[in-house]
Amino acid sequence: MKIRTKVIISLINRKQVLLSEGYDSVRDFKFYIPVGGGVEFGEMLYVAAKRELSEELGVKDQELEFINFHESLFEFNGIPEHEIMFHYVCHIEDIVRESLPSEGIESNGERFKVVWFSQEELDVVQKNIVPPSVYNEIRKELS
């Protein structure tokens, strides 16, 4: 296996964060993660984050702020994974939020659900946030 390099972006508006919803059928585990995806060879991280926002949600021309990086070893649908994720935050205006689709689209055309969470709602699903280490970073952005 190889290590996958990813960018993840927490969209923030009205003291809420937009996260994508995923499901691991082997563990019967629903999880939430900031939108994002893989970094292509030769692509700078910031450029990858902007590209992922554009491809998955149609969000363009927004400023991103790097927060932290996270290393994660886990299994997804029974397959061992090793990822290094670079976490960005993007504070958006109401007009951008209103233009967002109700679903994101992966590069392979697969659709995924996106959900807005307030700080209180985020606390309720804390054990379902992946990687777990982004929880405190997101919570700080919502306060």
pLDDT in tens, 52-97: 999 999 999 999 999 999 999 998 888 999 999 999 999 999 999 9
Residue 1 has pLDDT above 80, yes or no: no
Q: What are phi and psi of 55, to 5 degrees?
A: -65, -45
Q: What are the boundaries of each domain within the chain? A: 4-142
Confidence of residue 104 (pLDDT cuts 50, 70, 90): confident
Tell me which fold the domain 4-142 belongs to.
Nucleoside Triphosphate Pyrophosphohydrolase (3.90.79)
